[in-house]
């Protein structure tokens, strides 16, 4: 409750900012895009992550305003970050998809910033797809038809039914980092899951991005499985846009 007042003050002072984590081609180390991740630059408590405040923000009804503060900044920065063929992805919560004009508002924002829609990607969770299936499908179809791409976040942790996947305009599956942690153990659970997701993606002609890659062993295991893209502390932690715009970064 103390934090609730704090959140509203922070909104007024634009203390919520997107940090960007590079998404790289695992073989070459070339940056192909960025994931925008919410941070709160708190004047006293330093840099806070969503785990520190998102639950309170949701209870107090501030979460959507925080999201729009992030989307606004991403739309202003995404073209420079994306370059000629990259993208910036944003996390859109399931709760946010209950708003029936989310697609229209996002497209209006994109247009007001003169952002080429191909620069933007939306990360949606399996849960969001299933909670409000018909409305979410309509909105994702609309966004996709305008050039925004769609990724399914935390894949593998949600629901087991895969039958819905091809019905949505999803181009990318993001493998949850819980599977990457277990990956290098030969014959382990992680490797089996990652191999299965990669095979599924291949047959549906989707791209795969592995999350939370922390060491070279994991990267090599992913390359052996045929996974081409990933992100994680092995390459880079999330940082402000300015850091990535200063010079060309290569994570080979
Ligand atoms: O970077 P980090 O560990 O703090 O992210 C934790 C979680 O917060 C992730 O699951 C991510 O999906 C979510 N998240 C990150 N940025 C945003 C955002 O801008 N809006 C919302 N709603 N969630 C976000
Ligand atoms: O749920 P989502 O995938 O959007 O959340 C991404 C989260 O994972 C962010 O909080 C980000 O800071 C965190 N993250 C990114 N790379 C790594 C990593 O290599 N290891 C760990 N432990 N967390 C990571
Ligand atoms: Mn994400
Ligand atoms: Na994820």
Instruction: Assess if residue 250 is contained within a domain.
Output: no
Question: Using one digit for the tens of pLDDT, what is the confidence trace for 233-246?
Answer: 999 999 999 999 99
Distance 18 CA to ligand 3 centre (A): 12
Query: Per the domain annotation, does 161 fall within a domain?
Result: yes
Please work out whether the CB of residue 38 comes within 6 Å of at least one atom of ligand 1: yes
d(CA 213, CA 218): 6
Q: pTM of the prediction?
A: 0.96
> For the domain that residue 12 is a member of, what is the CATH number?
3.20.20.450
User: What is the widest separation between alpha-carbon atoms in the chain?
Assistant: 52
pLDDT at 163: 75
The Cα–Cα gap between 128 and 131 comes to 5
Structure-block tokens of residue 200: 């599924």
Say if ligand 1 is within 6 A of residue 50 CB.
yes
Would residue 16 count as lying in a domain?
yes
Structure tokens at 33: 């895009």
How many domains, the chain? Answer: 1
**Domain for residue 95, yes or no?**
yes
**Residue with the larger pLDDT of the pair 159 and 58:** 58
pLDDT score recorded for residue 160: 58
Is 108 domain-assigned? yes
Containing domain of residue 169, as a range? 2-244
35-44, 57-66, 181-190, 211-220 — which is least confidently predicted? 181-190
Question: pLDDT band at residue 2, thresholds of 50, 70 and 90?
Answer: confident
Give me the pLDDT at residue 42, please. 96
Both tokens of 72, joined, read 């606004």
> Which of 134-138, 208-212, 247-251 bottoms out in mean pLDDT, i.e. has the lowest?
247-251
DSSP summary character for residue 85? T
Q: Kindly state the DSSP code that residue 30 receives in the 8-state scheme.
A: B
Q: Is 93 close to ligand 1, i.e. is its CB under 6 Å away?
A: yes
Give pLDDT tens digits for 11-28.
999 999 999 999 999 999
Residue 154 Cα to ligand 3 midpoint, Å, equals 7
Mean pLDDT for the stretch of residues 150-167: 84
For tokens 């493998």, what's the residue? 175
The reply to whether 251 falls in a domain is no
User: Which ligand sits nearest to residue 37's alpha carbon?
Assistant: 1
Q: Cα(152) to centroid of ligand 2, in Å?
A: 15
CA of 55 to the centre of ligand 3 (A): 17
197 within some domain: yes
Mean pLDDT of the chain: 94
- Ligand 2 nearest atom to the CA of residue 125, by list position: 1
Q: Is 95 a residue whose pLDDT tops 80?
A: yes
Mean of pLDDT values over 102-113: 98
Closest residue (by CA) to atom 22 of ligand 2? 212
Residue 154 lies inside a defined structural domain of this protein: yes
What whole-number percentage of the chain has pLDDT above 70? 98
Q: Give the burial class of 119: count Cβ atoms within 10 A of its Cβ; 0-12 exposed, 13-18 middle, 19 or more buried.
A: buried
Q: Give the mutation target among 121, 212, 231, 235 for probing the ligand 2 site: most ligand atoms within 8 A of CB.
A: 212
Write down the pLDDT at residue 1. 60
pLDDT of the residue at 127 = 87
**50-67: pLDDT as tens digits:** 999 999 999 999 999 999
CA of 37 relative to ligand 2 center, distance in Å: 9
């Amino acid at each position: 409750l103390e934090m609730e007042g704090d959140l509203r003050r922070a909104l007024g002072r634009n203390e919520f900012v997107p940090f960007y984590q590079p998404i790289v081609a695992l073989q070459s180390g070339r940056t192909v895009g960025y994931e925008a991740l919410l941070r709160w630059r708190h004047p006293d408590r330093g840099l806070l992550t969503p785990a520190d405040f998102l639950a309170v923000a949701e209870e107090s009804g501030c979460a959507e305003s925080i999201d729009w503060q992030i989307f606004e900044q991403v739309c202003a920065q995404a073209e420079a970050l994306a370059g000629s063929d990259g993208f910036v992805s944003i996390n859109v919560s399931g709760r946010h998809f209950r708003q029936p004009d989310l697609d229209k508002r996002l497209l209006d924002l994109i247009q007001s910033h003169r952002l080429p829609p191909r620069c933007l990607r939306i990360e949606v969770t399996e849960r969001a797809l299933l909670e409000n299936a018909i409305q979410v499908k309509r909105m994702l179809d609309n966004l996709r038809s305008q050039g925004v791409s769609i990724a399914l976040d935390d894949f593998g942790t949600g629901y087991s039914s895969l039958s819905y996947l091809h019905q949505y305009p999803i181009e990318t599956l993001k493998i949850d980092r819980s599977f990457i942690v277990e990956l290098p153990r030969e014959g382990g659970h992680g490797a089996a899951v990652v191999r299965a997701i990669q095979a599924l993606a291949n047959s549906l002609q989707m791209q795969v991005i592995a999350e939370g890659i922390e060491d070279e062993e994991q990267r090599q295991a992913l390359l052996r499985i045929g996974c081409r893209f990933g992100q994680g502390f092995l390459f880079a932690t999330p940082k402000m846009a300015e850091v990535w715009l200063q010079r060309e970064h290569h994570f080979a």
